[in-house]
Amino acid sequence: MTEKVMNRWVVVVGAIMIQLALGAIYAWSAFTGPLEGVGFSSTETQAIFSAGLAAFAIFTIIGGRLQKNYSPRNISLLGGVLLGVGYIIGGLAGTNFPLKLFGIGIVGGIGIGLSYVIPISVGVKWFPDKKGLVSGLAVAGFGFGAFIWILLANPPSIIETWTGFAGLIESTSVDSVFQIYGISFMVLVILGSLVMVDPPAGWLPEGYEEPEDDSEETGILRDMGPKRMLKTKQFYLLWTMFVVGALAGLMVIGNIQNFANHGTEGFQGWGFDAETASDYAVIGAAVCLPIFNGLGRIGWGHISDIIGTKKSLIAMFGLQSLMMFVFFYSTFNPLAFFGVTIAIGFNYGGCFSLFPAATADSFGSLNMGQNYGYVFTSYGLGGILGPILAGAVQDAGMSFLYAFIPAALMCVAAVVLAIVYQPGVKA
């Protein structure tokens, strides 16, 4: 009698539910204004966000290690509880900054880090034939989640004008929203975690044949752990490329509204009035970027299953380099601006499906959770360098051109690294 195995697409549904909740960290901009309105400084609101990002990055590695010994389901459940409890603590903290920092930033960030890699690791094991697509689907919710939580909490004025919905913060309070979100995040992650289980040993999808172990003939290693991975050239190539991808994308995400409203360089420099320029900036930041960030995770993942991760990385960085070059000149026309913004968001989203797939291709699926945690640390560095580069350019009174051009050149360098990169690791 054959063992009954659950429908593997249920894992994808669970993964999306988890990632919708984890995307809360990208929705932080919706809370900064309301928090400043009740007495928090800009530095304090950003400190909470930075603490969340730091805890997220660190505990992605820890979550990947723990899930091997304590099961993916248990670690994902733990992460969901911590994320929810963290936001509830933040909601009960009132104007107590240290407690808000501890709850939302540290406890919530730890929860996101513990849960983040689980859907990717489990998904790749259930879909060895569609690693790119399932990686993209598993993390698409992260991008879409930010879009949903922003619109529910504090939608841009243009969205309020279109729909009449002023947001939960307006109708309740920022602390009430933290508590509502905390409960919602906990429920979503717990439900999604119930199906975060690895397939039975030896299971393969119908019609799929596992590649023969030809390591003795080719010298190519199949599965390796972090210790062996960290000694390979492939790891550092992937890590460096991911730094560049994160740097370019987060530079635009963090500065798009400033750029679109920036004097002669923004829309006003081309004759648009200040209100129109602001509306176009909001559409780019709150609609184009997050939606196509999510779609890019699915799209590039599917593309990689067709043409391979190496060619996909070359194509993605090639297109992103072009977009970073032309972004500076896009504000002459709103459609051009939206089009370039969509492409940048789409390519940035691709990082989160291509690099998990490349990690599995290079180092195997057996230790995927641990290995990708180390690769993902590159995101933290890129997230620091990109926004800081753009901020330093602005503080120096220089043109945004001096931020976008270096980012474009780095993407060109990433194309070269992608050409050098080979998925297999020789013994």
Same domain, 20 and 169: yes
Residue 207 lies in a domain: no
Rounded to an integer, what distance in angstroms lies between the CA atom of residue 325 and that of residue 305?
28
Residue 214 has pLDDT above 60, yes or no: no
Same domain, 392 and 302: yes
Same domain, 158 and 302: no
CA atoms within 13 A on the CB side of 39: 6
Same domain, 272 and 177: no
Same domain, 264 and 143: no
CB 362 within 8 A of CB 418: no
Residue 219 has pLDDT above 50, yes or no: no
Distance from the Cα of residue 153 to its chain's centroid: 20
Residue 397 lies in a domain: yes
Rounded to an integer, what distance in angstroms lies between the CA atom of residue 146 and that of residue 22?
9
Rounded to an integer, what distance in angstroms lies between the CA atom of residue 43 and that of residue 49?
10
pLDDT in tens, 316-325: 999 999 999 9
pLDDT at residue 319, as a whole number = 98
Same domain, 189 and 325: no
Report DSSP state, residue 106.
I
pLDDT at residue 261, as a whole number = 81
Same domain, 183 and 321: no
pLDDT at residue 391, as a whole number = 77
Number of structural domains found in the chain: 2
pLDDT at residue 143, as a whole number = 77
pLDDT at residue 179, as a whole number = 97
CATH code of 157's domain: 1.20.1250.20
Residue 83 lies in a domain: yes
Same domain, 369 and 256: yes
Residue 130 lies in a domain: yes
Among the three residues 129, 159, 193, which one is the final residue of a domain in this structure? 193
Average pLDDT over residues 8-19: 94
Same domain, 146 and 233: no
Phi, psi (deg, nearest 5) at residue 173: -165, 165
The count of residues in the chain is 427
pLDDT in tens, 28-41: 878 888 898 899 88
pLDDT band at residue 1 using 50, 70 and 90 as cut-offs: very low
Report the greatest alpha carbon distance in the chain: 74
More confident: 425 or 44: 44
pLDDT at residue 413, as a whole number = 98
pLDDT in tens, 345-394: 999 999 998 999 899 888 888 888 889 989 988 987 887 788 778 878 87
Residue 201 lies in a domain: no
Residue 343 has pLDDT above 90, yes or no: yes
* Structural domain that includes position 128: 9-193
CB 188 within 8 A of CB 80: yes
Average pLDDT over residues 19-28: 88
Whole-Å CA distances, 332 to 112, 327, 396:
39, 10, 24
pLDDT at residue 345, as a whole number = 93
Same domain, 243 and 325: yes
The pTM of this model reads 0.80
Residue 213 lies in a domain: no
Same domain, 356 and 308: yes
Same domain, 36 and 183: yes
Residue 208 lies in a domain: no
- The mean pLDDT of the chain is 88
pLDDT in tens, 255-273: 787 788 877 888 988 888 8
Residue 158 lies in a domain: yes
